[in-house]
Amino acid sequence: MAAPAATENEYVTLESADGFQFVIHREAAMLSGTIRNMLSSPGQFQEAAEGAIQFRDIKAVILEKVCKYWYYRARHANSVTEIPHFEIEPEYALETLMAADFLDT
Amino acid sequence: MSRRNRGAAGTTFVNNVRGPTSALTSFLNERGIRRANPAPAPVPAPAPSRSPSQDGDQAEEEEEEPAVSQPTRTARLTRGRSSAAATAGSSAATSRSESIDVTGVNENEDEDDSDSDDDKVNLVPISVSVRTTRVTRTRAASTAKASKAAASSSASASKKRPRKKGESDDSNDEDFHDITGFVPRTKFSHKGRMPQGSNKIEFCSRCRARFTIKAGTTPAVDDDDGGLLCPTCTGSSSAGAVAPAAKPIKRPRRKAQKAEIESQVPSLQDLCIQKIANCIEDVEAFGDISDISMDKICKIISRNRSLNTETLQLFLDPRHSDLSLHDCTEITAEGLKSIAQFCPLLRSLKLKLCGRINDDVLNYYADHLSRLSSLSLIGPILLTDKAYAKLFETVGDRLERFELKSSSRFSIDSLKALCTHCPKVTHLRLGDCNLMDDDWLTPIAGLANLRSLRIRNPEPDRLTTASMVSLIQAVGSGLEELELKGCTTLEDAVLVEAIRPSCVRLERLNMMDCEYFTTEGVETLFKDWTTNRGLSYVNLENCVMLKDEALMALTAHSGGTLEDLNIKGMDEVTKEALLTLSRCENLLRLNASWCRAMDDEVMEVLVKAAPRLEKVTVWGDHRLTECCPIRKGMKVVGREGDYIDLRFI
């Protein structure tokens, strides 16, 4: 795939430690400071070129949760009405926090 | 005249008032808060059936004679001027009401000469008869019916007893509530109630005023030229009465604002932290989370009071060099000891509400925390001099920061031990230490490396000006921060003879509650203070005596460097002085609560002058309207008529 075409791509692929791939909207992924830096840094990084990022420390369950959060956030960012609560299972809360810390979300 | 004296002066008129006063009234009187710069008077609701019944009113007035003290108070509270203006030209006014008004004028002029001419127009009463005097004011404004109005209004002032039955209770709280709930300023040109968010700001095609179009609403269109119309012009063109139109507007606005607050999506980190804090008992270990997150969790569970000996273990990591526990009430002495066991590398330890810490634990810290250089203890009620002495002896040169608050056992012996054994202390903070007196200041003067000194809330009358002057003269040259919060008895000599010549490096100065500092003192301190390059933080909260000159001298000296300014409660300052805040180009935070000359114009100047301004606190500034100009990303806290934003409380 040609590099310039890929950066224009509307979607990015995030791969978890256990091999699951999440294809999510670029806008949503950009809500993470870390991913934004990865995808828009001036150097020609592989991630930016391919639009795919591998997270070796984040499990699929957690990454799914984080992706859900990005969409939740994108959807309700400018909402005027009351927004629903974003549910996090207690058993995943710590790991999600670690991922959120890392992803700057 | 300090606040206390003022309070005493206040009680003289309070005693004239019959009947119960509300908690708010007594509180305001106690704090010396007066109505110096009230809000612009709201437009009153039309009172149609009143003026014709002049004779009847007068008759009622006769009946009301026993309650003379109440009208007198009304007159005083209106500062006399507006009602006097109404009565001045009136021939129909009764001699009774005239005499009341005249006394009002005299009292007022004796008491307060600093009101600007502008104030004379805007003065409105604070309490008992808000409604009636509102009538007074507008009637006075409409010159056509001046005499009739004066008569009816002075009569109506005395008529308030019968009136109040039909309406609400007339305690002050009610009236304050009434003022806000009245939807005032309905004729005010700007209607921009919600400047932030996705709202759009437009200019009215008829009155050229700026107004806000709320998200999801469409503004009215002018029939003549097709331009947009502000709500005021829309209301007037539709020929509807102002008061009924105001009611339906109110509710949706509040609701929308509330929703706007809630719609800010919290970060995933905060959501997780909240969740973890809720079930902290089930957490076995935190794993690899950031220090900031850990501290946030610690704060939340401290607030929940679930930080105990068991949960404490989660925060103890041998790699940590800083530890800050915000509520140690539930942690036993053994638990506190385990801090030193699990985190031997601690450099900085901060224990708040550590009532259970005892000599044994402190000795253990002294022996085992071999890198400790900063110790902060809030509320250590069990520690004795012996333990402190041993700690200071063992830690010795390493100790750089020491903070102690709310201890009634820390005595001068401990302080002497600190000053002898730990000469490298750079930050010393002593607050609410009951035993503190003049003698304490002598050993502190020996700390040559001191950069930050905070002495907070000593027992009243225990610290004298003379000894504070000699302390500051001794250590002042190195000080970057000086806090004298609550040292209420200190006088101007501290400013003029000590701080001005000595504190050349000073950047942060906190003089909160120092009531005896006068305008002259502060002015002398800042005027041509060339040896100091400018302060970045100044707190003059509750220095109630300070007037214009003090603030002007401060802004002239430190204008370019000030980042954080607190002038809460300086309600003597006028608009002229507040406008000099425009010199503070680097201002980040401003607390101008109860500076009641603060208005939209000052805010506009400020917003223009200080591009980095983040937060302005304006509780009790009645002249500031909801439509005052603010910039995106800037917080204005405490505007009258705003919703109460619980995040800031």
Q: State the ipTM, two decimals.
A: 0.87
Q: Where are the domains of chain B?
A: 3-181, 200-262, 265-435, 518-649
Pairing between strand B615-617 and B589-591? parallel
Residue B207 has pLDDT above 70, yes or no: yes
- Tell me: the pLDDT tens digits for B47-63? 444 444 444 444 444 44
- Locate B177 and state its tokens: 């509530």
Q: How far is B279 from chain A (nearest CA, A)?
A: 7
Pick the more confident residue, B527 or B631. Answer: B527
Disruptive mutation site among B272, B283, B286, B314 for chain A (greatest number of A CBs within 10 Å): B272
What does the pLDDT read at residue B60?
A: 44
What average pLDDT does range B436-463 have in this prediction? 93
Q: Name the nearest CA neighbour of B280 among B254, B309, B255.
A: B309
Separation between Cα atoms, residue B170 and residue B439, nearest integer Å? 52
What average pLDDT does range B158-170 have in this prediction? 42
What average pLDDT does range B285-299 have in this prediction? 85
Split at pLDDT 50, 70, 90, the class of A39 is confident
| Highest averaged pLDDT of the listed ranges B124-128, B134-138, B238-242, B637-641 | B637-641
Check if the beta carbon of residue B431 is closer than 8 Å to that of residue B406. Answer: yes
Residue B149 has pLDDT above 70, yes or no: no
Pick the more confident residue, A80 or B622. Answer: B622
What does the pLDDT read at residue B104?
A: 39
Split at pLDDT 50, 70, 90, the class of A40 is confident
- Listed range (B186-190, B410-414, B521-525, B623-627) with the worst mean pLDDT: B186-190
Minimum-distance CB partner of B273 among A73, A81, A97: A97
- Locate B425 and state its tokens: 């202390």
Q: Name the nearest CA neighbour of B525 among B482, B488, B585, B485.
A: B482
Mean pLDDT of chain A: 84
What average pLDDT does range B589-615 have in this prediction? 91
- Tell me: the pLDDT tens digits for A54-76? 999 899 999 999 999 999 988 88
What does the pLDDT read at residue B82?
A: 41
Q: How far is A62 from chain B (nearest CA, A)?
A: 12
Coil/strand/helix, residue B39: coil
Chain B positions in Cβ-Cβ contact with residue A97 (cut-off 8 Å)? 269, 272-273, 276, 289, 293
Separation between Cα atoms, residue B232 and residue B208, nearest integer Å? 11
Q: Which CATH number fits domain B265-435: 3.60.21.10, 3.40.50.970, 3.80.10.10, 3.40.50.720?
A: 3.80.10.10
Residue B215 has pLDDT above 70, yes or no: no
Residue of B nearest to A66 (CA): B268
Split at pLDDT 50, 70, 90, the class of B38 is low
DSSP string, A66-90: HHHHHHHHHHHTT--SPPPP----H
Please indicate if any CB of chain B lies within 8 Å of the CB of A66: yes
Q: Name the nearest CA neighbour of B350 among B389, B387, B379, B390.
A: B379
Residue B581 has pLDDT above 50, yes or no: yes
- Helix (H) or strand (E) holding B617, with range, is strand B615-617
Query: How many residues would you count in chain B?
Result: 649
What does the pLDDT read at residue B632?
A: 79
Residue A86 is part of which domain span? 3-103
Q: Name the nearest CA neighbour of B204 among B229, B186, B225.
A: B229
Q: What is the phi/psi pair of residue B2, to 5°?
A: -90, 180
What does the pLDDT read at residue B646?
A: 52
Question: B331 CB contacts (<8 Å, ≥6 apart)?
Answer: B307, B308, B309, B312, B325, B354, B356
Q: What is the CATH superfamily name and number for domain B518-649?
A: Ribonuclease Inhibitor (3.80.10.10)
- Helix (H) or strand (E) holding B616, with range, is strand B615-617
> Percent of chain B scored above 90 by pLDDT?
43
List helix spans (H) across B127-219. 130-141, 146-158, 160-166, 172-181
- Tell me: the pLDDT tens digits for B564-579? 999 999 888 999 999 9
Please indicate if any CB of chain B lies within 8 Å of the CB of A105: yes
Separation between Cα atoms, residue B161 and residue B166, nearest integer Å? 10
Q: Could you tell me where the beta strands, DSSP code E, fall in B164-275?
A: 200-203, 210-213, 220-221, 228-229
Q: Are A94 and B286 within 8 A, CB to CB?
A: yes
Separation between Cα atoms, residue B616 and residue B594, nearest integer Å? 12
What does the pLDDT read at residue B217?
A: 64
Check if the beta carbon of residue B292 is closer than 8 Å to that of residue B320. Answer: no
Minimum-distance CB partner of B287 among A76, A79, A98: A98
Separation between Cα atoms, residue B623 and residue B122, nearest integer Å? 10
| Per-residue CA distances from B490 to B37, B359, B508, B546, B642 (Å) | 29, 35, 18, 15, 38
- Helix (H) or strand (E) holding A47, with range, is helix A46-50
- Listed range (A39-48, B82-91, B618-627, B631-640) with the worst mean pLDDT: B82-91
Separation between Cα atoms, residue B188 and residue B182, nearest integer Å? 14
Residue B79 has pLDDT above 50, yes or no: no
Minimum-distance CB partner of B268 among A76, A81, A96: A96
Split at pLDDT 50, 70, 90, the class of B630 is confident
What does the pLDDT read at residue B196?
A: 45
Q: Is the dihedral of CA B570, B576, B579, B584 positive or negative?
A: negative
Residues of B109-138 as b/e, b for ≥16 C-beta within 10 angstroms? eeeeeebeeebeebbbbbbbbbbbbbbbbb
What average pLDDT does range B560-565 have in this prediction? 94
What average pLDDT does range A73-81 have in this prediction? 82
What does the pLDDT read at residue B18?
A: 58
Please indicate if any CB of chain B lies within 8 Å of the CB of A97: yes
Residue B87 has pLDDT above 70, yes or no: no
- Tell me: the pLDDT tens digits for B329-374? 999 999 999 999 999 999 999 999 999 999 999 999 999 999 999 9
What does the pLDDT read at residue B222?
A: 66
- Listed range (A37-41, B16-20, B460-464) with the worst mean pLDDT: B16-20
**Looking at residue A14, which CATH number applies to its domain?**
3.30.710.10
Q: Are B262 and A86 within 8 A, CB to CB?
A: no
DSSP 8-state code for residue B40: P
Q: Are B289 and A94 within 8 A, CB to CB?
A: yes
Beta bridge partners of B581: none
Check if the beta carbon of residue A26 is closer than 8 Å to that of residue A98. Answer: no
Mean pLDDT of chain B: 74
Q: Are A82 and B262 within 8 A, CB to CB?
A: yes
Q: Specify the number of domains making up chain A.
A: 1
Split at pLDDT 50, 70, 90, the class of A46 is confident
Burial class, A44, CB count within 10 angstroms (exposed 0-12 / middle 13-18 / buried 19+): exposed
Q: Is the dihedral of CA A36, A42, A43, A46 positive or negative?
A: positive
Q: Name the nearest CA neighbour of B55 among B173, B159, B205.
A: B159
List residues in chain B touching A: CB distance below 8 A.
Answer: 197-198, 215-216, 256, 259-260, 262-263, 265, 267-269, 271-273, 275-276, 278-279, 282-283, 286-290, 293
Check if the beta carbon of residue B522 is closer than 8 Å to that of residue B547. Answer: no
Q: How far is A87 from chain B (nearest CA, A)?
A: 9
Split at pLDDT 50, 70, 90, the class of B39 is low
What does the pLDDT read at residue B42?
A: 53
* A-to-B residue pairs, Cβ atoms closer than 8 angstroms: 72
Please indicate if any CB of chain B lies within 8 Å of the CB of A3: no
Separation between Cα atoms, residue B177 and residue B167, nearest integer Å? 13
Q: What is the phi/psi pair of residue B482, to 5°?
A: -135, 125
Check if the beta carbon of residue B174 is closer than 8 Å to that of residue B168. Answer: yes
Q: Are B276 and A93 within 8 A, CB to CB?
A: yes
Separation between Cα atoms, residue B73 and residue B104, nearest integer Å? 8
Check if the beta carbon of residue B627 is closer than 8 Å to that of residue B616. Answer: no
